[in-house]
């Protein structure tokens, strides 16, 4: 009897989580493309605050110590760690000695799903490494540097405080937006306490808004010859500082994606540029990490929204070298295949001008080929081509999508509240997680398709191979040594902008086994003449090995061998070959 009582008490007072942990996994059939029994279980139908992000990256590092490391590369303004994930197979070489793909996310804090896309990319690389040969080759031959979030302070503010879909976009460094000597004193206010910053409307004669005949929740603008019933304020709030204006001095405001040291322009020309390049702790730490890894040659930033694959230049006066432009076009058009509804665009020409942007800095000063993906397209609502001038879909489309597929979960119904200055007002409208962000059932698709674009970019990073090393005795202890170096992928070992501006050093090809008397690069495959390197020919300097092309190097060396060569490219990796 006593044993029964003890067993009963143990059962009653033991947390359910203990039983859940010991329960066998549910039986079933793996869907195609999914990891099989992942070590790190993550629900990809939700968004994670910075504590959750930290737990996920640390769990990945613990589960895959041979493939994944995580480090803090600095602190945000409020002291949160800026995480950098490094993924590669260290048994096949150091991370810094392989061509590297760089990925970052959510430099604008309200662009929430960018973090999940970057995390999913890291997670998928690790979880499918042993079962997918394509992924295995990527992890064996490349390095992935992933910074899963660039604005952790405002991400947490967005998640745990009242917000609308568009703010907080800036970081949390205080700024005086209205010039009254106070910092961030007049932000939007959650008048009905529901955790959302929605719209305000006031019923009034002669207003410019009316209720939509198709959906009583939706306010639409009146035509020129109509008299409306309401005035509408785009964000609920009141005049906190008594200056007669509502919501004019919220978080920030500066734009971290206008704070980079390339074609930076002051605030009066480029709104949000802030005081000077890299004055923000987050952009400074991230730029230092990128600069410290010159093996990075591919770049990807995730933003939202509008379904765009953007490439530079950000400003009309900037230049993309023609050969590099062809690479952008090659990959961008592939992206349009992988991402239905997305459009491949040139930033300044097809969107707007950007001065001091991150991707322009990466290209012009680091020799990196970077893209920006604006995540989420209204195409995904009803698989209909969106209006090219409407990034989020029109209001009628949004409300219909909410009504028919989300069953009202995305919209706050209008509710009357007391406003401290305006009297009776109504608040309602879209929640902070709608319009810019995909709902749960589309989030994993957004993650996977954008990850696939990263993978194809990484696949096309340079991959070097020494095809052969040939020797020919010349007599008098002299030998002619010739080697052919192949780049098996589309992207060269150095971009055209890199070669033109000497951003990184040339590729080094070093002769081993004899002393080089002279040497150089063959002028063509079928021409034995070569361009001589007159100084220090033992280590030839090759400007670049072009994509899907070969370079033939040759020496006349003192000695009879055996001969071998070492190829050392900062962005193309290291390979060796020996004469047979």
Q: Do 426 and 504 share a domain, yes or no?
A: no
Residue 275: how many other CB atoms lie within 10 Å: 12
Q: Do 60 and 111 share a domain, yes or no?
A: yes
| Alpha carbon 184 to chain centroid, angstroms | 28
The tens digit of pLDDT for each residue in 297-352 reads 999 999 999 999 999 999 999 999 999 999 999 999 999 999 999 999 999 999 99
Q: Do 541 and 414 share a domain, yes or no?
A: no
Between CA 396 and CA 400, with CA 397 as vertex, the angle to 5 degrees is 85
Q: Do 454 and 355 share a domain, yes or no?
A: yes
| Alpha carbon 413 to chain centroid, angstroms | 35
C-alpha dihedral sign at 371, 377, 379, 382: positive
* Residue 76 belongs to a domain: yes
326's CB contacts (< 8 A; 6+ apart) are none
* Residue 113 belongs to a domain: yes
The tens digit of pLDDT for each residue in 453-484 reads 999 999 999 999 999 999 999 999 999 999 99
Between CA 298 and CA 301, with CA 300 as vertex, the angle to 5 degrees is 150
How many folded domains does the chain comprise? 3
The tens digit of pLDDT for each residue in 264-294 reads 999 999 999 999 999 999 999 999 999 999 9
Cβ–Cβ < 8 Å for 251, 154? yes
* Residue 371 belongs to a domain: yes
Domain containing 91 equals 46-157+256-378+439-459
Cβ–Cβ < 8 Å for 565, 572? no
Q: Quick one: tokens of 344?
A: 């491949």
Q: Do 239 and 282 share a domain, yes or no?
A: no
Cβ–Cβ < 8 Å for 134, 283? no
CATH number of residue 573's parent domain = 2.60.40.10
CATH number of residue 82's parent domain = 3.40.630.10
* Residue 304 belongs to a domain: yes
Distances (CA, A) of 319 to 141, 327, 348, 352, 457: 31, 14, 11, 16, 22
Q: Quick one: tokens of 295?
A: 């093996």
What length is written for the chain?
Answer: 580
Say what the pLDDT of residue 387 is: 66
More confident residue, 205 or 10: 205
Q: Do 424 and 455 share a domain, yes or no?
A: no
Q: Do 103 and 133 share a domain, yes or no?
A: yes
pTM of the model: 0.93
Q: Do 337 and 452 share a domain, yes or no?
A: yes
Alpha carbon dihedral 279, 280, 286, 288, in 10-degree steps, equals: 30
pLDDT band for 24, please (50, 70, 90 cuts). Answer: low
Please report the DSSP string for 477-522 in residue order: TEEEEEEEEEE-SSS-SS-HHHHHHT-SPPEEEEEESSEEEEEEEE
Average pLDDT in the 175-195 region? 88
Farthest-apart Cα atoms in the chain, separation = 104
Q: Do 58 and 197 share a domain, yes or no?
A: no
The tens digit of pLDDT for each residue in 107-158 reads 999 999 999 999 999 999 999 999 999 999 999 999 999 999 999 999 999 9
- The pair phi, psi for residue 177, each rounded to 5°, is -75, -30
Say what the pLDDT of residue 23 is: 52
Q: Do 289 and 355 share a domain, yes or no?
A: yes
How many Å apart are CA 459 and CA 453, to the nearest integer?
10
Q: Do 215 and 281 share a domain, yes or no?
A: no
Q: Do 480 and 560 share a domain, yes or no?
A: yes
* Residue 41 belongs to a domain: no
* Residue 307 belongs to a domain: yes
């Amino acid at each position: 009897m006593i044993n029964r009582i003890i067993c009963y008490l143990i059962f009653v007072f033991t947390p359910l989580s203990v039983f859940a942990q010991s329960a066998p996994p549910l039986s079933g059939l793996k869907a195609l493309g999914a990891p099989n029994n992942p070590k790190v279980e993550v629900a990809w139908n939700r968004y994670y605050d910075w504590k959750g992000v930290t737990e996920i990256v640390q769990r990945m590092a613990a589960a895959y110590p041979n493939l994944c490391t995580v480090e803090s590369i600095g602190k945000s303004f409020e002291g949160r760690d800026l995480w950098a994930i490094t993924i590669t197979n260290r048994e096949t070489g150091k991370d810094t000695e392989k061509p590297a793909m760089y990925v970052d996310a959510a430099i604008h804090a309200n662009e929430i799903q960018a973090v999940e896309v970057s995390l999913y990319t890291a997670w998928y690389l690790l979880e499918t490494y042993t079962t997918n040969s394509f992924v295995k080759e990527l992890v064996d031959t490349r390095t992935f540097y992933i910074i899963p979030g660039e604005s952790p302070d405002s991400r947490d503010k967005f998640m745990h405080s009242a917000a609308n879909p568009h703010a907080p976009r800036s970081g949390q460094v205080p700024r005086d937006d209205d010039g009254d000597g106070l910092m961030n004193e007049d932000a939007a206010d959650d008048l009905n306490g529901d955790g959302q910053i929605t719209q305000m409307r006031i019923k009034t004669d002669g207003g410019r808004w009316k209720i939509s005949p198709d959906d009583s929740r939706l306010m639409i603008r009146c035509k020129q010859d109509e008299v409306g019933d309401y005035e509408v304020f785009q964000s609920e709030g009141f005049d906190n500082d008594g200056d007669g204006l509502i919501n004019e001095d919220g978080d920030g405001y500066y734009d971290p994606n206008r704070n980079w040291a390339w074609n930076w322009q002051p605030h009066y020309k480029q709104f949000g540029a802030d005081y000077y390049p890299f004055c923000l702790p987050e952009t400074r730490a991230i730029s230092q990490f990128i600069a410290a890894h010159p093996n990075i040659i591919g770049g990807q930033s995730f933003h939202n929204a509008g379904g765009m694959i953007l490439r530079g230049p950000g400003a009309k006066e900037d230049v993309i070298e023609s050969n590099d432009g062809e690479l952008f076009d090659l990959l961008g058009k592939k992206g349009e295949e992988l991402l239905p509804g997305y459009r491949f665009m040139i930033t300044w020409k097809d969107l707007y001008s950007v001065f001091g942007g991150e991707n322009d800095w990466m290209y012009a000063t680091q020799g990196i080929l970077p893209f920006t993906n604006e995540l989420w397209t209204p195409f995904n609502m009803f698989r209909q081509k969106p209006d090219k001038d409407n990034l989020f879909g029109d209001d009628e489309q949004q409300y219909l999508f909410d009504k028919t597929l989300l069953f009202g979960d995305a919209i706050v119904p209008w509710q009357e509240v007391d406003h401290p200055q305006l009297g009776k007002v109504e608040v309602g409208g879209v929640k902070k997680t709608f319009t810019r962000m995909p709902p749960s059932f589309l989030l994993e698709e957004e993650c996977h398709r954008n990850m696939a674009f990263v993978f194809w970019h990484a696949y096309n990073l340079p991959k070097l191979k020494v095809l052969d090393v040939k020797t020919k005795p010349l007599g008098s202890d002299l030998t002619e040594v010739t080697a052919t170096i192949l780049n098996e992928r589309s992207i060269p070992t150095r971009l055209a902008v890199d070669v033109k501006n000497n951003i990184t050093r040339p590729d080094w090809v070093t002769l081993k086994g004899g002393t080089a008397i002279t040497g150089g690069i063959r002028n063509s495959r079928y021409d034995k003449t070569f361009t001589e390197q007159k100084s220090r020919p033992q280590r030839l300097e090759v400007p670049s090995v072009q994509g899907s092309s070969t370079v033939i190097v040759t020496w006349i060396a003192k000695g009879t061998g055996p001969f071998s060569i070492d190829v050392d490219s900062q962005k193309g990796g290291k390979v060796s070959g020996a004469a047979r």
